Amino acid sequence: MIRKPLGRGLDALIGNAAAGIETGVEDSSEAQFRMAPVGSITAGEFQPRINFDKERLAELTRAIQSQGIIEPLIVRRIDAPDADGPRYELIAGERRLRAARAAGLEAVPVVVRELDDRAALEMSLVENIVREDLNAVEEGLAFFRLVDHFELTQDEIAARVGKSRPYVSNSIRLLELPQPILNMIAKGELNAGQARPLLGLKPEAQLSAARRIAAVGISARGAEEMATANRPRTKTAAARSAADANLNALAEGLQRALKRKVRIFKRRGRSPGRIEIDYYDDNDLTAVAEMLLGNSRASMRA
pLDDT, tens only, 249-300: 777 777 777 778 888 877 666 667 788 888 888 888 888 888 878 755 544 4
Give 132's pLDDT tier (boundaries 50, 70, 90). Answer: low
**Most confident of the ranges 76-90, 193-207, 234-248:** 193-207
CB atoms within 10 A of CB 31: 22
Task: Determine, yes or no, domain membership for 99.
Answer: yes
Q: Is residue 6 pLDDT above 70, yes or no?
A: no
Domain final residue, candidates 70, 102, 134? 134
Out of 26, 30, 89, 94, which one is annotated catalytic?
A: 94
- Residue 17 pLDDT > 50, yes or no? no
**In a shared domain, residues 130 and 1:** yes
Query: What per-residue confidence (pLDDT) applies to 235?
Result: 53
- Quick: pLDDT tens for 78-117: 877 666 778 888 888 888 888 888 988 888 988 898 888 8
Tell which wins on pLDDT, 112 or 123: 112
Does residue 68 belong to any structural domain of this protein?
yes
pLDDT of residue 299: 47
| Residue 197 is assigned to a structural domain of this protein | no
On the question of pLDDT at 241 being above 80, the answer is no
Tell me whether residue 176 is one of the annotated catalytic residues.
Answer: no
Q: Is residue 227 part of a domain?
A: no
Please give the Cα distance from 264 to 105 (Å, whole number): 76
Q: Is residue 230 part of a domain?
A: no
Residue with the larger pLDDT of the pair 85 and 128: 85
Q: Tell me which of 118, 134, 150 is where a domain ends.
A: 134
Total domains present in the chain: 2
Dist CA 3 CA 11 (whole Å): 11
Could you tell me if 130 and 249 lie in one domain? Answer: no
- Comparison of pLDDT for 84 and 147, the residue scoring more: 147
Residue finishing a domain among 81, 101, 134: 134
Q: Is residue 14 in a domain?
A: yes
Query: Which CATH number is 40's domain given?
Result: 3.90.1530.30
Is residue 103 included in any domain, yes or no?
yes
- The parent domain of residue 260 ranges over 245-301
- Is 158 a member of any domain? no
